[in-house]
Structure 1
Amino acid sequence: MTAPLGGPYRYTRAGRGVFHLPLERPWTWALTHHGMWSVFVTDMEPARHGGPPRRHPLHPPRELLGCWLAIYATRDYDADAVRWLREAHGLEAPAGDVLPAGAYVAVARLAEVSTVGNDYRAFGRDAWWAPKRAPYCRGTIAWWLEELQPLEPLVAAPAKRLTPVDPGLVPELRERMRLARDGIWRPEVYAAPAAPPVTAPERERPPAPAPSPRPRVVDDRPVPPMLANPEQFGLFP
């Protein structure tokens, strides 16, 4: 699609479709439990001409703006996300065997798309794009979500990104959204590991003083005179 460069572009009509959006953990946990409301979708470009593979940011199709995205927690667990959440927000993410996987965990409306070059939020004003303490910016193209609703995890098979959700699952998704909005179901609190202890660097101990040298003993006694006919022990004829 041709992306507008003048600024963020928002949806102008509410869509009714529900589309599959896979997301690695613990980013799903940041969405459902810590108010994250922007995602950065990328594809991995293969290595070319001897260079390493790199991530390629994606724009969503314009026709998806205003539609619902069903957030699917994949079985992948992003270790870089764990470090980023810790350094940027002081959050300790639950481990991979704690967070739900292979299931829909939330539904949200895709409301807006913007890029680093045309959105003031890219420069630190939005805490989930580039916090001041963040080791790096999360991406260059942000998909902004609104009306995000965490729901009881609904186990489902993996699917291709942005394909329509299985019609047989849509009624159950809607029912779980209703239960969550009415407060009948409440998000589970997942145990997170304790923050790694902050250890102060050990001070260098001063070197131990060198031991004082022992006094040198000097033998000043006179040397006795050499014998007149010393034995040669066979060294000379």
Structure 2
Amino acid sequence: MQDVRSLNFAGPYRYTSRGTGVFHFPLARPWTWALTHHGMWNVFVHDHEPARQGMPARRHPLHPPPELMGCWLAIYATREYDADAVDWLRKGHDLEAPGASVLPARAYVAMARLAEVSTLGNDYRSFGADPWWKPAGVSSRGTVAWWLEELQVFEPLEAPEAPRLAPLDPELLPELRERVRMARDGIWRPEQYVLQRPPPPPPPEAPPPRPKPTPAPPARRELPADDSPVPPMGPVEQLGLFGGGS
């Protein structure tokens, strides 16, 4: 496998002859669903370099070997389910991907011809003509895209995992060709998944009513002081209060 850093990025390169070989191409779900049901026609392939002392884990985008151009890729749905892809598909294409329990796994689900390889910087499709490359609102999934043509979805064919881009097991080829033929003739049709969008988040709770302010007591009014002299008291009849009287 060629490393992307060793290649000249003068521009995209395209197949010049149709190959007849069929090669194992693993792809995590739900990317397989986007490819088979929603018009995705480019994939991004990376080699992963594990972390080591002083260096974080990294991934390197790859170009395929030249002899692979024009050949068939047997798209294999792996057991992995890419949770980040769910968010990317929702934001970039308004697609709600089926869950892992719904989509087929460890099975071949489609065939496609590897037609072209290009980089983000030199491909005309990166400037808005193809929404799968870099839709508005989300980041690009990579810098080196493998473009697929003549995609044919067929009834999933369960099979064990294999190394990436290994030639397809010859014992599987007759069954795979038969399933491709049945799909092309319309005898088999892709399963349609009923997509249910997650319920919208509940509206935020209304803030509790603010307590009514306690009314302030009325202001106390002080009477003005009367400092005038008090006249002397005159004679008062005791009215028998002290035993006197007539």
TM bucket normalised to smaller: 0.7 to 0.9
| 8 Å Cα contact 1:20/1:164 also seen in 2 | yes
Q: Secondary structure at the match of 1:118?
A: coil
Residues 110-137 of structure 1, C-alpha deviations (whole Å, 9 max, x = no match): 000000121122233311110113x211
Residues 28-70 of structure 1, C-alpha deviations (whole Å, 9 max, x = no match): 0000000100000112221244453232211111110000000
Deviates more, 1:40-49 or 1:5-14: 40-49
| 8 Å Cα contact 1:95/1:193 also seen in 2 | no
Q: Kindly indicate whether residue 112 of structure 2 is the aligned counterpart of residue 139 of structure 1.
A: no
Aligned match of 2:173: 170
Letter in 2 for 1:91: L
TM-score when normalising by structure 2? 0.81
Larger radius of gyration: 2
Question: Which ranges of structure 1 fall in alignment gaps of 5 or more residues?
Answer: 219-237
Q: By how many angstroms is 1:162 displaced?
A: 0.1
| 8 Å Cα contact 1:125/1:131 also seen in 2 | no
Q: Secondary structure at the match of 1:117?
A: coil
Q: What CA distance in whole angstroms lies between the structure 2 residues aligned with 1:187 and 1:16? A: 25
Q: Secondary structure at the match of 2:17?
A: coil
| 8 Å Cα contact 1:115/1:140 also seen in 2 | yes
Letter in 1 for 2:180: M
Aligned match of 1:231: none
Aligned match of 1:65: 69
Distance 1:204 1:54, change over 3 A: farther
Q: By how many angstroms is 1:214 displaced?
A: 4.3
Distance 1:49 1:92, change over 3 A: same
Q: What CA distance in whole angstroms lies between the structure 2 residues aligned with 1:204 and 1:136? A: 37
Residues 57-97 of structure 1, C-alpha deviations (whole Å, 9 max, x = no match): 11111110000000000000000000000011110000000
Q: Equivalences for 1:222-233 in 2 at 5 Å? A: none
Aligned match of 1:44: 48
Q: What CA distance in whole angstroms lies between the structure 2 residues aligned with 1:6 and 1:196? A: 47
Q: What CA distance in whole angstroms lies between the structure 1 residues aligned with 2:185 and 2:195? A: 27
Q: By how many angstroms is 1:206 displaced?
A: 7.7
Letter in 2 for 1:185: W
Equivalent pairs, count: 219
Partner residue of 1:151 out of 146, 151, 154:
154
Aligned match of 1:230: none
CA RMSD of aligned residues (A): 2.4
Q: By how many angstroms is 1:172 displaced?
A: 1.1
Q: Secondary structure at the match of 1:166?
A: coil
